[in-house]
Each structure stands twice: as structure tokens, then as C-alpha cells.
Amino acid sequence: MSHHLVILYGIGGLSDVGRHAVQVAVSMKKAQKQIESITVLTPYPKLLDEPNWNSWCPPEGQKLFSEEEKKLFTLIQVTDWNDQALLSKFENATAIISCLGNRQPTFMGVSRSSWCSEQGNRMVIEAMHKHGVKRVVVISSTGIEEDWPPMEFHWAGKALSIMFLCCARKAFRDLSTMERAYRKTTDLDFLFVRPVGIGEDTVPRNQWRLQKEKYDDVNDLDVEVAKLDVARYMLQEALEPTRHRDAVVIGGVKQPDEKQN
């Protein structure tokens, strides 16, 4: 089956996964693997031109996409996630990857626009209903909804809990509301992907570890995972779904010398 993908990204750490999803999708399209078309929606199209992303990337000074590769996807700049004209961009889509994150740029500490994850994904839900798109894979975060408290298996989870309860409470509320909006639907096949630490310097290994059960099954799960590897997993689940109306915590794979005795 040839897929028509729609990929959304915003700005911030979680949204970087979306940019890497574009990278993975382009590579697959070049190799003529499953992908017929790629449409990218973002308020920040120029981020794809940055020679050095705040995550693992090609050598400094080397752009991620050549001019020929840019012809393999359609890039659409979004100025307002409530714009009804965006709905038409999802026509004929077979799967969606939504990596809006939850952060907007600020000016002197004041947000210039609303928290984008809930807002943008409500547009996605409307578009899916309008055009009969069933599958969406959505970036979220550990500690959201039934996964509270976050990263219960590591001290970093306690720090994240404190952040969610104080300085990041708006982000926590935004992501929680976003997940609930999908769960209120009865006909959409969603998967929430909740990465643990997505460190800027974490090198991709083309492998990852999924936590199977809360408070258990974490001996081999590393608390750092590369953004590119999260993107690879999201593409995999978008094209060949294995989990339906579900959520999963994803981490890295501990190397032998990192595993607990």
C-alpha cells in the first residue's frame, strides 16, 4: 500500500521529533518504500533549512535537505491552526504524524500565541472526520493522564513532576487536554507516543525500548532516546499500526555496561 502522509511540527523539543519525521519520510520516499506523498504543515518552515538543529544532525554547516529532496514533499506554512483552509490539506491522507509539541515562542517572557498542541490537534481531528482519515500518531509526554507520575523508575521523573506542577503546568494542561480530545472520539485510530528524555546530544541507534507496564518492565529502558529514533518509531506505527487507541512510553535501549546488575 502506498501512503499519503501529513506531518505536523511546531517549535521546541517535542516538535523536533516532527522535523526528524520529515527526514525519515523523505528517505523512505527516495527509496520508494511505501510513501507516495508527504505534506508538511508548520508555522516554522525555515526550521527545515537550519544547518544545525538542536538535536542530532548532519555535520555542522550541512543542510538536512538538498534542493532535490525538497521537491519530495509539499511544505505549507501555517499562520493559524483554526484556519479552515487547512482541512483540505488532509484530503487523501492515509496517516498523520502530529508533533506540535506544546511550546510557542515568547517575547520578553510573554507568549505571543496560545499553547499549540491542543489547538492544532483539534484541527487534525476535524480534518480526519471530514476526509475519513483513520490513523494518527501523536507526540505527547511521559506523565500525561494515566502515566502519572512521569518516569516513576528514575529520579528525573520527580524533577519532571515538580515542573508539571509549577513552571510547566500550562504545558501539562495543554498536552492533557489534547489527549482527552482524541479519546472522546469513537472512530479515530490514535497512538500517543510519550518519549522519556530526548537529549540534544543523544546519538540515534535505530533502536528503542517501549515500557510495557507502569511501574514495571524498565530494566533495559534508557532515560535518553534520540529524537530521530522516536521519529522512526512514529513512522513505523503510522504506516504499519500495531497499537490502537493507545499510548506508549518510549525510551532508549541501555547498553550492556549501563544495565543494572
Give Cβ neighbours of residue 53 (< 8 Å, ≥ 6 apart).
Answer: 16, 19, 47, 64
pTM: 0.91
Low-confidence ranges of the chain (pLDDT < 50): 104-114, 260-261
Distance between CA 27 and CA 137 in Å, rounded? 19
Asked if residue 221 lies in contact with residue 153, where contact means CB atoms within 8 angstroms, the answer is yes
CATH number assigned to the domain comprising residue 52: 3.40.50.720
Range(s) of the domain holding residue 99? 3-258
Asked if residue 138 lies in contact with residue 14, where contact means CB atoms within 8 angstroms, the answer is no
Q: Would you state the pLDDT for residue 102?
A: 62
Q: Would you state the pLDDT for residue 52?
A: 55
* Interval 154-183: pLDDT, tens: 999 999 999 989 988 888 888 999 999 999
When divided into structural domains, the chain yields a total of 1
Q: Would you state the pLDDT for residue 84?
A: 95
Taking CA atoms, 142 is separated from 108, 194, 238, in Å, by: 29, 5, 20
If we measure between CA atoms, which residue out of 193, 5, 191 comes closest to residue 95?
5
